[in-house]
Structure 1
């Protein structure tokens, strides 16, 4: 994208460039993280509160059970009371010996009437004439229960009742009662402290998440900055890759994409420059002859023939460039299963019609291969034409095929002038020619580039063996199971 196009886009749609604070990925990540943390706290506080209250009730019930066990153990150590006077003495001794904990009350009854308690001061629901006391007075067996009050300063009353018998009859009742208001207040204070701690942690987590998200998204900002600094002139910018993980992989992938774009751009520029250079010559020739054409019919005929010849050369050049451009498309090949033996014979019979040479069919492989018949024929014919252009009529050109190690080898070998070492890689480039190219060679310099492109499209490659003065052998190496 050019700077002009970027500026135009920014003018037409500035919202794309400045979408606001809330559109930033960093902010959205932080909002999601905060929402999750807040939801976790909102759901956890009621659960924690309920667990705290359950823990309070469990602990109070445990204390009540201990107080009942103390009384049971104490009364078993005493002589069994024979009358209510002895029972009163037992109650009195127990109340003097054991001191209840805070919010706990030891209550004793004899013959359905209140006798004594520890401590003496009791809340209203535990007064002698209260509903709860009247119910305890009528009990004749063990009972554990909860009495709910509407007074928040008292809370619920948890109690355990222990009946005492004289001569097989229930004459007394020992009750351990506990008001839960104090325990609930303590649990509420703990929950309040926990809420404050969680909110503080949430705030710290918010700050740390903002800092961490900034560090995590730093490669994305570098990617954006690099992408904005890239234009069709400069593709050398790269993102520094640090560490491992998805961000590092993203940076590596972006750098690889830039590398491919740079290679493609350089190749495109070279192609345009080379094509422009190759097309400029025939255009200049055509224009020069047309400007100088006279009235002589013979001269006009010669000029027309020359122009047509140059136009034909330009047409071949354009067709070759189109083939190279199509070679990178997915529909470049039309694959079919062919018999290698028959294919080799067909290629040989087509090649011998190119020019008079000592043509030989050296070998014919056997088997099947899935390839594009027309493209492979085009590649071998290009190699055959190239061989005729660098040989004399008395030279030998050999075609052959061989199946080896799951590869098909198709070769064209000649006994011509050969290729220098320095040129053996360069001649596969576009518009390249060898140092020994004959003056009469009228090729576009794209023939070997097309051969290489066809081989690569088939997941294969081209091999070249050549020595100056001895000859050259070009071999297409194609995998049998490529598709």
Structure 2
């Protein structure tokens, strides 16, 4: 039993052994983007050449075959003209031969060349002797194109051919030649041969009859040697294309590596990023998608770094805000233990600090909940009633010159409790930065499809440099005395509630004149 367990543990350890470094390198190389680009490039080019080369070959075959059939059809038409009794020696000699071929033909003709004799022999034959003279004269004046053979038969036997040298596929004893020798009807076709010198033949066979009796036949044959030449040319093209493809693949490999360099820099930068160092950035070069990607990544890192800084400051400020009341509570508890006579006064101070901590924690929870989709509970409310209620609550906060400037009239869709909470934070903030003789004005209005709630005071005002910063968490205006209540979260809460309603919070302030905070909300929050 123990031995069997040892084996299984060994198997597990072998299974957990990491793969060799070379194997990991090949996996990494195969997974690279430029490797995949190269593979797709090979596949596309292979498909392209795989389709283009056979199509090119077939196109050449078709054009050559069409030209050959045209030449052979010309030979057939000339021969039929002779059989019809229309003899034109000049046309026969000039039909399909160029000047060089004419000179060669003239040298090959006998010196006692007699035109009248040729015309006589080219008359329509009526017997075997005339048939032989007809073929002799015809082969003298009709010079075939390259790879075209004129083969004659008399009384079912091979007679003569032009040129005289025939390929093996056209030897007199072959089945095809025996068939042509006795062919009584005009036919055309093609024949595949197993011979090495000729693998394909195109032919026209024209019989010559007199009174229904077959005197002879003419076979006009073309050996498709051009096909072999085309195949050799296609093979050469394929070899050159393969060499070019290999060179192109090498160039594509380096070009892809060059193009994808920003992606590798992105990966290296991402690996170098840690919780303590978010300053790494990718250099942006040129334009295009990769440059845009690098710019977007840098912007994301800027936001991420900013978020980490805000989070770090938030943790530090939250720790500081909690440390202060905890220290106070600990000190007074120790004092109560050593001096029980003043326990009631000390207990009141402890309870006050606990109340302050409780409010601080509640504010943090509210800010966290503001990011949830179910943060608001919307309902239809009367804007005038909310304004009046806020004004009545505000007068109990402090002794100020309270004024109700304007009251909106109409229905709005908001979270009633959250809106009152946000405006009361603005009112409380105004009381902390004003004196007894200062004025605080509360008002609301509906204008251009939006409802406006504002709190205006005649206090110290806020300089331009701090007007945006005061909405951050734990933010305070430098040089202002620290309030015993709150932790600098009030305006952050107001902003969170306003943005949850798809609204905006604005500030209009001037040092020595006062500040006006305005909450602008849509009439119906979507």
Structures share fold, TM-score greater than 0.5: yes
Q: Is the deviation greater in 217-226 or in 349-358?
A: 349-358
Tell me the alpha carbon deviations over residues 416-467 of structure 1, each in whole angstroms, 9 at most, x when there is no partner.
Answer: 4444555444433333334685676523222122222332333432222334
TM-score with structure 2 setting the length: 0.79
Q: Is the deviation greater in 143-152 or in 47-56?
A: 47-56
Instruction: Confirm or deny: 8 A CA contact 1:107 1:176 kept in the other structure.
Output: yes
**Mapping of residues 304-383 of structure 1, within 5 Å:** 304-383=347-426
> In structure 2, do the counterparts of structure 1 residues 425 and 135 end up closer, same or farther at CA, with 3 Å as the change threshold?
closer
Tell me the alpha carbon deviations over residues 196-234 of structure 1, each in whole angstroms, 9 at most, x when there is no partner.
Answer: 122112212211221122122211101011111212222
Q: Is the deviation greater in 198-207 or in 355-364?
A: 355-364
Task: Please name the residue that 1:200 is paired with.
Answer: 243
**Mapping of residues 205-284 of structure 1, within 5 Å:** 205-284=248-327
Query: Any stretches of 5+ residues in structure 2 without a counterpart?
Result: 1-16, 89-121
Task: Please name the residue that 1:68 is paired with.
Answer: 76
Matched, 1:452 2:495: yes
> In structure 2, do the counterparts of structure 1 residues 66 and 352 end up closer, same or farther at CA, with 3 Å as the change threshold?
farther
Query: Any stretches of 5+ residues in structure 1 without a counterpart?
Result: 1-10
Q: Secondary structure at the match of 1:312?
A: helix
Instruction: Confirm or deny: 8 A CA contact 1:417 1:436 kept in the other structure.
Output: no
**Mapping of residues 397-436 of structure 1, within 5 Å:** 397-421=440-464, 423-434=466-477
Task: Please name the residue that 2:198 is paired with.
Answer: 154
> In structure 2, do the counterparts of structure 1 residues 269 and 125 end up closer, same or farther at CA, with 3 Å as the change threshold?
closer
Matched, 1:30 2:38: yes
Distance 1:178 1:107 in 2: 11
Matched, 1:101 2:145: yes
The size of the alignment, in residue pairs, is: 472
Instruction: Confirm or deny: 8 A CA contact 2:168 2:197 kept in the other structure.
Output: no
Instruction: Confirm or deny: 8 A CA contact 2:441 2:455 kept in the other structure.
Output: yes
Instruction: Confirm or deny: 8 A CA contact 1:389 1:438 kept in the other structure.
Output: no
Tell me the alpha carbon deviations over residues 147-179 of structure 1, each in whole angstroms, 9 at most, x when there is no partner.
Answer: 233323321221012344557876443221122
Q: Is the deviation greater in 258-267 or in 30-39?
A: 30-39
TM-score with structure 1 setting the length: 0.85
Instruction: Confirm or deny: 8 A CA contact 2:82 2:123 kept in the other structure.
Output: no
**Residue 77 of structure 1 is aligned with which of 84, 87, 92?**
87
**Residue 66 of structure 2 is aligned with which of 38, 53, 58?**
58
Q: Secondary structure at the match of 1:293?
A: helix
Matched, 1:91 2:135: yes
Distance 2:137 2:173 in 1: 25
| Offset, 1:413 | 1.8
Distance 1:271 1:450 in 2: 14
Tell me the alpha carbon deviations over residues 389-424 of structure 1, each in whole angstroms, 9 at most, x when there is no partner.
Answer: 334556543322222233321101234444455544
> In structure 2, do the counterparts of structure 1 residues 209 and 440 end up closer, same or farther at CA, with 3 Å as the change threshold?
closer
Tell me the alpha carbon deviations over residues 244-270 of structure 1, each in whole angstroms, 9 at most, x when there is no partner.
Answer: 333223222211211110110111122
Q: Taking CA–CA contacts closer than 8 Å with sequence separation of 6 or more, which of the two structures ends up with the larger relative contact order?
A: 1
Distance 2:466 2:173 in 1: 120
Distance 2:87 2:381 in 1: 109
Q: Is the deviation greater in 208-217 or in 415-424?
A: 415-424
Task: Please name the residue that 1:120 is paired with.
Answer: 164
Distance 2:287 2:525 in 1: 34
Distance 1:331 1:205 in 2: 59
Tell me the alpha carbon deviations over residues 5-30 of structure 1, each in whole angstroms, 9 at most, x when there is no partner.
Answer: xxxxxx99999986543233322332
Matched, 1:465 2:508: yes
Distance 1:339 1:68 in 2: 106
Q: Secondary structure at the match of 1:466?
A: strand
> In structure 2, do the counterparts of structure 1 residues 288 and 217 end up closer, same or farther at CA, with 3 Å as the change threshold?
same
